[in-house]
Amino acid sequence: MHTLSSLTDLLLSSVFASVNNLYHREPQKRVIDRQHARLYNAVTGKLPEQARKAAADHIASVCANLREIEQEEQRLVRATLRLEGWE
């Protein structure tokens, strides 16, 4: 039970991090909204294979976007360090 609770907490913190990092960026927000609509329609339409694919595509997309943001932040840190004379 403790393990499941920890996994739930981890999943929720991951979702919150995704929302904080992606949802305020308009292009990503539009993509996420379309993905959510696709998933919702598949679930309510009782189309399990389409729902599975929509969920997998959504998760892969969010992961890719978060990796891109992380790389962007790392580039900014390196650029700032170079400007400050650190190399």
Query: pLDDT per residue over 37-60, tens digit each?
Result: 999 999 999 999 999 999 999 999
> Which parts of the chain fold into alpha helices (H)?
2-22, 26-44, 48-83
Q: Does the structure show a pLDDT above 70 at 11?
A: no
pLDDT-derived band of residue 26, with 50, 70 and 90 as boundaries? confident
Distances (CA, A) of 46 to 28, 41, 52, 55, 64: 27, 8, 11, 14, 28
- pTM score of the predicted model: 0.67
67/51 Cα distance (integer angstroms)? 24
pLDDT-derived band of residue 85, with 50, 70 and 90 as boundaries? confident
Give the pLDDT score at 60: 93
pLDDT-derived band of residue 8, with 50, 70 and 90 as boundaries? confident
